[in-house]
């Protein structure tokens, strides 16, 4: 046993797969201990907040202020405020004012603003300019001048009695707060989803549930497949014929179709994560049954089995001590494959809208489903779906690598 | 000559036996598919027809529609009759192509909805799976033969790609080529402003919309097939006949052709066995692109709680898969001489 | 002294494992096979006898690699030739090989005649299919194989028939030396006898000139061969005439090997059955001294430290031990006396 494990851990593929899988497992276990938020808590009002560090504006105002005189502060401020549309509008004005297009650099904020202040004249009329457009330019000019001014912003509070606004203080452009001193800062490494939920927390919880679904489905499928395979291979005769008929039937009838039919028939209310896992398990045992059967048949007439039969051991005893240990490696490999295909099956079902019911737990498939329904992929909200795809791929990839590694150890013919 | 004649006779008999066997099995699976499609919803808690009727009350605003569907279903399912008779009615209806009205797309019939989506799925999936199979097998064979750096770079990529779910590949292709690069449209089977006809504009639109769904299925298929073909080829390269052929002085190129032919045969059987799973994955990929095939039809049906449509769509998919499976078995029978030999015994 | 057909001098080859370790499975092996003679090679599985068979072909592909030594066929040194020249003019023509698993030695999806065409065309570019067919038919007739076999696929043949077909295909190009690697081990007794008969036939009918026969079944070797070479851990440990090797082995391993086999031949019946305990050494790191020391009943302290060379008893007999012949014989005699 020790030697086998040593051999397994000499396989590069197995080690890589095992490391990835263990890492995922560790994150799934440790993350909720550090951040115990409920995964489906809606924290964002609105959809798809970008990944980043969210600092409370309210708390920032009352936090200790420090003055930092940084040269590029103003330029940065304008650069971030000046959108693509504004820049294009400025360019339009400059061209109308007779500046050759080649001299306008739309991305160079400093140069663009210099040209703007030189050429802008609110009284000037560009032929064909609508009134709305003229007002837009006036507003734009005001905004830019405002951003460049050294004057601060006042903080006013409404007096509860008189209803008059009273100035409490001003904030100058050179005032800074230390993020560490702001009591409410929320890091959203993967932003929020369409419902305003923290994607990372949701993703970790979804990975856990999906793994659970995979394990339950895999164990059910492996148990059924193992039992049927053992029966069919060891007992033979009519039992074998019947079991093989059913197995071959379910190999050609796509299990995906069965999954759709059963899941739909169960109905939305009955579909918990566990139910889905069971349904997946009950529809995906065929390959294990076939593999186990052919292994058992090749073992059935080996000397040690015959010896055991002659010694009068019971069928159960023979199966447990003379057959199972020899097919254990195949069963483990089959289990690994079942788990990863179970996770994929859940994802597929969920995208079809047949996943587990939505109020309690997220799954990787459901996250994908939500992202697709809210068109995250078309809107460019990559954080809502890309981490999900990567997680699914990493799980199945790592399990497959482990499987290939095991296969190479146990079937030397496949070795490189 | 006489010997030849007898030999041909034997071969023909062997083929007949093989094809007859396969055809019988096809029929058996077909009947089982009908049975499962009929019985699974009835085994679940709650009677499907009762559920349908209760959903009718909430779902629809068209009163005459409700009435029509209600009458249709009492007749279609024959709920008050014994189960066996219900099955006979069901099979009769199905054979006549009568699946009743669609709930979600009333007054269209289920047959009509399916008819308008099935060809999109067939035209998308089967070419994509075949192309993916061909490319994947060639690359896998190449990886096994060349080994070295090609193998080292190519194999991890295909292992990773084959572990990407089909919908994942679909989303990635879409984001890269449709959303970011804008080379292809993001969704649909043709431009939403067009009405299907035989103009060049429409055909071009169909071709452009076809590309991303097609390649996402192809890419997914390539990975798995390449891995399978590579290990089959390595297995065959280590076979005793390779060693013997080498020691008889046969050229490497000839031996490689032996190996790849022999490694390809199990890959064909593998395709027959896994085509169901592939179609399942590809259906989900269709949904990502809102491709007007059966995948999207199932999604609409699920969202609209459209039981008759789901039942019909799953049955049609099963029949498609079973037929593809049967066809592959037939082709295999011609390609593998061992089939004849075994059957002739 | 008759013509030496195959001469091997200090041949060393290695396997490279998956973990890039070198395994020297054939370690400085020298041998000679004369025209009309049959050489037997015996040893436990894993002793390097099959690897030696592969190495003798002079045509190497991974994981087997050539290190050093010479192979001379009819005086021509093939170990210095280019692989493609060996393939064209040596393999099948000069030296041919019957693999251990002859059952699977034929491509399952190719008719026998097509495979024969491939073999012939690999050596003679311009030969017509008709000529090939005629030659194959003639050969099959000579060897008593039915002509229909040519049109069949390997799966359509029985195990014994497959075996005989492989033998026939191997001698298609009339090689001088034929190497048969356990050609009968997977067969039932009747088929085994057929195969042995056929191998003898090949010599008698002049289809081949010499035979190297590899097996772990000693009685078979004694019946078929003129000389026997015993291998252990990649090295020759004893080489003698068949009679001496079986009835009067000198090397303790050879002696143990002869004793470990169930022998039906009448003259051998009173030889006691004694399996040799232990396993052969790992050839990744072979022991410094005698490789058999760990399993040897008569081991001495020097055995593990001093290197052990082949000792020549006479022109045809040699063995690898630190003890001279007379001391070994004394030990064996004493043991027989003790056991009564």
Query: What is the tens place of the pLDDT at every residue in A238-297?
Result: 999 999 999 988 888 888 888 888 888 887 777 888 889 999 999 989 988 988 998 888
Residue C261: count other Cβ atoms within 10 Å of its Cβ.
17
Q: Please report the pLDDT score of residue B54 as a whole number.
A: 57
The verdict on a CB contact (< 8 Å) between C170 and B337 is: no
Q: What percentage of chain B reaches a pLDDT higher than 90?
A: 8
E strand or H helix that includes residue C10: strand C4-16
The verdict on a CB contact (< 8 Å) between A416 and C18 is: yes
Q: Please report the pLDDT score of residue C54 as a whole number.
A: 85
Q: Please report the pLDDT score of residue C273 as a whole number.
A: 46
B163 Cα to chain A: minimum distance (Å): 5
The verdict on a CB contact (< 8 Å) between B245 and C108 is: no
Q: Band of the pLDDT at A343, cuts 50, 70, 90?
A: very high
Question: Interface pTM (ipTM) of the complex?
Answer: 0.85
Q: What percentage of chain B reaches a pLDDT higher than 70?
A: 83
The verdict on a CB contact (< 8 Å) between B250 and C110 is: no
Which of A16-25, A29-38, A131-140, C272-281 has the highest mean predicted lDDT (pLDDT)? A16-25
Q: Please report the pLDDT score of residue A54 as a whole number.
A: 92
Q: Band of the pLDDT at B64, cuts 50, 70, 90?
A: low
Could you tell me if residue B246 is inside a domain?
Answer: yes
Could you tell me if residue B158 is inside a domain?
Answer: yes
Residues of B in contact with A270 (CB under 8 A): 45
Could you tell me if residue C114 is inside a domain?
Answer: no
Residues of B in contact with A353 (CB under 8 A): 299, 302-303
Strand order in the sheet with C22-34: C22-34, C4-16, C64-73, C76-77
Q: Buried b vs exposed e over C305-340: b needs ≥16 C-beta within 10 Å? A: eeebeebeeeeebbbbbbbeeeebeeebeeeeeeee
C220/C213 Cα distance (integer angstroms): 10
Residues of B in contact with C156 (CB under 8 A): 341, 344
Residues B304, B103: contact at Cβ < 8 Å?
A: yes
Beta strands per DSSP E along A34-112: 52-55, 66-67
Closest CA to B163 of A259, A406, A389: A389
Could you tell me if residue B14 is inside a domain?
Answer: no
A102/C92 Cα distance (integer angstroms): 79
The verdict on a CB contact (< 8 Å) between A393 and B164 is: yes
A22 Cβ contact partners less than 8 Å away, ≥ 6 residues apart: none
Chain A CB within 8 Å of residue C61 CB = no
- Chain C residue with the nearest C-alpha to that of A7: C19
| Chain B residues with a Cβ under 8 Å from any Cβ in chain C | 3, 7, 239-241, 243-251, 254, 258, 261-262, 265, 336-338, 340-342, 344
A98/A140 Cα distance (integer angstroms): 20
Count helices and strands in chain B by DSSP H and E runs: 13, 0
B266/B269 Cα distance (integer angstroms): 5
The verdict on a CB contact (< 8 Å) between A396 and B163 is: yes
Pick from A253, A254, A344: CB nearest B32: A253
Mean pLDDT over A21-31 rounds to: 94
Residues C37, C59: contact at Cβ < 8 Å?
A: no
- Chain A residue with the nearest C-alpha to that of C62: A416
Q: Number of structural domains, chain B?
A: 1
Q: Please report the pLDDT score of residue B70 as a whole number.
A: 62
Could you tell me if residue C18 is inside a domain?
Answer: yes
pLDDT of A316 higher than 50: yes
B218 Cα to chain C: minimum distance (Å): 29
As a three-state string, the secondary structure of B78-140 is: CCCCCHHHHHHHHHHHHHCCCCCECCCCCCCEHHHHHHHHHHHHHHHHHHHHHHHHHHHHHHH
Weakest mean pLDDT among B208-222, B287-301, B311-325, C41-55: C41-55
Residues C11, C70: contact at Cβ < 8 Å?
A: yes
Q: Is the peptide bond before C273 cis (omega within 30 degrees of 0)?
A: no
Mean pLDDT over B332-344 rounds to: 71
Q: Band of the pLDDT at B1, cuts 50, 70, 90?
A: very low
- A residues 356..385 contacting B (CB < 8 A): 368, 372, 377-378, 380, 382, 385
Mean pLDDT over B106-134 rounds to: 88
Residues of A in contact with C16 (CB under 8 A): none
Chain B CB within 8 Å of residue A260 CB = yes
A275/A272 Cα distance (integer angstroms): 5
Strand-pair category, C177-181 with C210-214: parallel
Residues of A in contact with C19 (CB under 8 A): 10
Strand-pair category, C76-77 with C64-73: antiparallel
DSSP calls for B175-213: IIIIIIS-SS-SSSSS-TT----S-HHHHHHHHHHHHHH
The verdict on a CB contact (< 8 Å) between B171 and A389 is: yes
Q: Please report the pLDDT score of residue B340 as a whole number.
A: 65
Structure tokens at A204: 């970790």
Answer whether 0.80 is exceeded by the pTM. Answer: no
B169 Cα to chain A: minimum distance (Å): 9
CB pairs under 8 A between A and C: 3
- Chain A residue with the nearest C-alpha to that of C63: A416
Structure tokens at C324: 């001279």
Chain A CB within 8 Å of residue C20 CB = no
Could you tell me if residue C140 is inside a domain?
Answer: no
Q: Express the helix, strand and coil content of chain A in percent, nearest 5 each.
A: 65, 5, 25
Q: Please report the pLDDT score of residue B272 as a whole number.
A: 85
Could you tell me if residue C59 is inside a domain?
Answer: yes
Residues of C in contact with A405 (CB under 8 A): none
Chain B CB within 8 Å of residue A61 CB = no
C106 Cα to chain B: minimum distance (Å): 5
**Regions of chain C where pLDDT drops below 70:** 1-2, 18, 184-187, 259-275, 339-340
Q: Where are the alpha helices (DSSP H) in chain C?
A: 49-56, 83-89, 112-123, 129-142, 159-170, 189-204, 218-224, 242-247, 252-259, 301-305, 325-339
Could you tell me if residue C147 is inside a domain?
Answer: no
C261 Cα to chain A: minimum distance (Å): 20
| Cα-based distances in Å from B188 to B121, B205, C22, C156, C296 | 12, 10, 60, 54, 80
Q: pLDDT: is A20 or A40 the higher one?
A: A20
Residue whose tokens read 């007002």: A135
Q: Band of the pLDDT at B71, cuts 50, 70, 90?
A: low
Q: List the CATH number of the domain containing C185.
A: 3.40.50.300
Residue C179 sits at φ, ψ, to 5 deg, of -110, 120
B219/B173 Cα distance (integer angstroms): 10
The verdict on a CB contact (< 8 Å) between A253 and B307 is: no
A186/B250 Cα distance (integer angstroms): 71
Q: What value, to the nearest 5°, has the Cα angle with vertex A13 and ends A12 and A19?
A: 90
Q: pLDDT tens, A200-220? A: 999 999 999 999 999 999 999
Domain of residue C239: give its range: 4-109+153-339
Mean pLDDT over A47-55 rounds to: 90
Q: Number of structural domains, chain C?
A: 1
Q: Please report the pLDDT score of residue A75 as a whole number.
A: 75
Residues A105, A114: contact at Cβ < 8 Å?
A: no
Residues of B in contact with A401 (CB under 8 A): 159
Name subunits touching C (3+ CB pairs < 8 A): A, B
- Domain-wise residue ranges, chain A: 2-43+194-414, 57-68+150-185, 83-144
CATH, domain range A2-43+194-414 = 1.10.3720.10
The verdict on a CB contact (< 8 Å) between B240 and C169 is: no
Chain C CB within 8 Å of residue A151 CB = no
Residue C218: count other Cβ atoms within 10 Å of its Cβ.
24
Structure tokens at C139: 């050969």
Could you tell me if residue B254 is inside a domain?
Answer: yes
Q: Please report the pLDDT score of residue C269 as a whole number.
A: 46
Q: List the CATH number of the domain containing B324.
A: 1.10.3720.10
pLDDT of B191 higher than 90: no
């Amino acid at each position: 046993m020790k030697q086998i494990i040593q051999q397994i851990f000499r396989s590069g593929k197995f080690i890589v797969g095992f490391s990835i899988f263990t890492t995922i497992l560790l994150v799934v276990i440790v993350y909720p201990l550090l951040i115990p938020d409920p995964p489906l808590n809606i924290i964002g009002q609105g959809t798809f907040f970008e990944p980043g560090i969210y600092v409370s504006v309210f708390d920032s105002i009352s936090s200790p202020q420090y003055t930092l005189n940084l040269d590029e502060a103003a330029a940065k401020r304008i650069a971030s405020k000046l959108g693509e549309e504004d820049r294009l509008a400025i360019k339009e004005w400059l061209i109308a004012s007779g500046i050759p297009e080649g001299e306008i650099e739309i991305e160079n904020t400093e140069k663009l603003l210099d040209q703007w202040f030189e050429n802008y004249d609110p009284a000037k009329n560009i032929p064909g300019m609508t009134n709305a457009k003229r007002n837009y330019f006036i507003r734009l000019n005001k905004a830019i001048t405002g951003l460049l001014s050294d004057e601060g912003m006042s903080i006013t509070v409404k007096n509860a009695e008189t209803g008059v606004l009273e100035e409490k203080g001003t904030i100058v452009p050179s005032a800074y707060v230390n993020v560490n001193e702001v009591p409410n800062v929320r890091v959203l490494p993967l932003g929020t989803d369409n419902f305003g939920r923290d994607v990372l927390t949701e993703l970790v919880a979804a990975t856990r549930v999906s793994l659970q679904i995979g394990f339950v489905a895999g164990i059910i499928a492996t148990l059924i497949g193992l039992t049927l395979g053992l029966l069919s291979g060891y007992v033979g005769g009519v039992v074998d014929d019947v079991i093989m008929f059913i197995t071959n039937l379910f190999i050609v009838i796509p299990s995906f179709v069965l999954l759709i039919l059963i899941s739909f028939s169960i109905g939305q209310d009955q579909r918990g994560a566990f139910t889905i896992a069971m349904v997946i398990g009950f529809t995906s045992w065929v390959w294990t049954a076939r593999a186990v059967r052919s292994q058992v048949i090749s073992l059935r007439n080996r000397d040690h089995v015959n010896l055991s039969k002659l010694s009068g051991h019971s069928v159960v005893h023979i199966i447990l001590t003379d057959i199972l240990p020899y097919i254990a490696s195949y069963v483990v490999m089959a289990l690994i494959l079942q788990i990863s295909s179970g996770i994929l099956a859940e994802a597929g079902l969920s995208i079809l809208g047949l996943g587990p019911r939505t109020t309690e737990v997220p799954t990787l498939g459901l996250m994908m489903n939500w992202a697709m329904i809210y068109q995250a992929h078309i809107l460019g909200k990559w954080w809502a779906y890309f981490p999900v795809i990567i997680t699914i791929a990493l799980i199945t990839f790592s399990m497959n690598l482990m499987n290939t590694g095991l296969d190479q150890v146990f079937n030397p013919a496949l070795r490189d | 000559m006489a010997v030849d004649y007898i030999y041909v006779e034997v071969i023909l008999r062997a083929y007949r036996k093989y094809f007859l066997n396969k055809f019988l099995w096809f029929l058996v699976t077909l009947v089982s598919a009908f049975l499962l499609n009929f019985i699974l919803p009835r085994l679940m808690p709650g009677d499907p027809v009762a559920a349908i009727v209760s959903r009718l009350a909430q779902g629809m605003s068209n009163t005459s529609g409700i009435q029509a569907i209600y009458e249709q279903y009492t007749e279609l399912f024959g709920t008050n009759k014994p189960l066996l008779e219900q099955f006979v009615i069901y099979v009769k209806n199905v054979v006549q192509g009568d699946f009743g009205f669609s709930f979600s797309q009333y007054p269209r019939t289920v047959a009509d909805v399916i008819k308008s989506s099935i060809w999109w799925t067939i035209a998308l999936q089967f070419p994509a799976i075949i192309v993916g199979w061909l490319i994947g097998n060639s690359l896998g064979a190449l990886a096994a033969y060349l080994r070295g750096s090609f193998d080292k770079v190519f194999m991890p990529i295909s292992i990773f790609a084959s572990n990407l779910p089909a919908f994942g590949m679909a989303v990635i292709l879409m984001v890269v080529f449709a959303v970011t690069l804008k080379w292809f449209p993001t969704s649909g089977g043709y431009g939403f402003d067009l009405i299907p006809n035989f103009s060049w504009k429409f055909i071009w639109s169909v071709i452009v919309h076809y590309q991303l769904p097609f390649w996402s299925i192809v890419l997914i298929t390539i990975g798995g097939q390449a891995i399978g073909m590579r290990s089959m080829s390595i297995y065959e390269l280590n076979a005793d006949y390779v060693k013997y052929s080498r020691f008889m002085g046969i050229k490497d190129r000839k031996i490689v052709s032996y190996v790849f032919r022999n490694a390809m045969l199990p890959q064909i059987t593998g395709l027959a066995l896994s085509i169901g799973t592939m179609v399942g994955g590809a259906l989900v990929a269709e949904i990502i692109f809102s491709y007007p095939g059966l995948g999207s039809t199932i999604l609409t049906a699920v969202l609209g709680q459209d039981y008759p449509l789901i039942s019909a769509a799953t049955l049609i998919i099963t029949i498609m898969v079973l037929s593809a499976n049967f066809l592959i078995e037939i082709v295999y029978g011609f390609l593998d001489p061992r089939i004849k030999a075994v059957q002739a015994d | 002294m008759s013509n030496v057909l195959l001469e091997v001098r200090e041949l060393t080859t290695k396997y490279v494992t998956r973990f890039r370790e070198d395994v020297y499975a054939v370690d400085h092996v020298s041998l000679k096979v004369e025209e009309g003679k049959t050489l037997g090679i015996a040893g436990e599985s894993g002793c390097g006898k099959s690897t030696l068979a592969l190495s003798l072909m002079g045509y190497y592909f991974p994981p087997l690699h050539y290190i050093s030594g010479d192979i001379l066929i009819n005086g021509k040194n093939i170990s210095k030739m280019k692989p493609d020249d060996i393939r064209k003019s040596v393999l099948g023509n000069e030296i041919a090989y019957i693999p251990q698993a002859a059952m699977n030695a034929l491509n399952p999806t190719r008719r026998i005649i097509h495979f024969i065409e491939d073999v012939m065309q690999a050596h003679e570019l311009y030969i017509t299919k008709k000529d090939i067919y005629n030659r194959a038919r003639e050969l099959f007739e000579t060897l008593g194989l039915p002509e229909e076999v040519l049109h069949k696929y390997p799966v359509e043949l029985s195990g014994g028939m497959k075996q005989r077909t492989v033998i026939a295909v191997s001698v298609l190009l009339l090689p001088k030396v034929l190497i048969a690697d356990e050609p009968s081990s997977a067969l039932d007794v009747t088929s085994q006898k057929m195969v042995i008969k056929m191998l003898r036939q090949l010599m008698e009918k002049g289809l081949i000139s010499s035979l190297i026969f590899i097996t772990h079944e000693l009685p078979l070797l004694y019946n078929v061969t003129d000389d026997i070479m015993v291998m252990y851990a990649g090295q020759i440990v004893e080489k003698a005439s068949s009679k001496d090797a079986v009835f009067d082995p000198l090397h303790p391993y050879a002696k143990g090997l002869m004793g470990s086999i169930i022998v039906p031949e009448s003259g051998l019946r009173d030889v006691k059955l004694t399996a040799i305990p232990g396993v052969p050494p790992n050839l990744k790191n072979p022991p410094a001294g005698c490789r058999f020391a760990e399993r040897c009943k008569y081991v001495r302290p020097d055995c593990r430290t001093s290197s052990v060379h082949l000792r020549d008893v006479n022109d045809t007999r040699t063995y690898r031990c630190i003890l001279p012949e007379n001391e070994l014989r004394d030990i064996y005699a004493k043991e027989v006396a003790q056991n009564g």
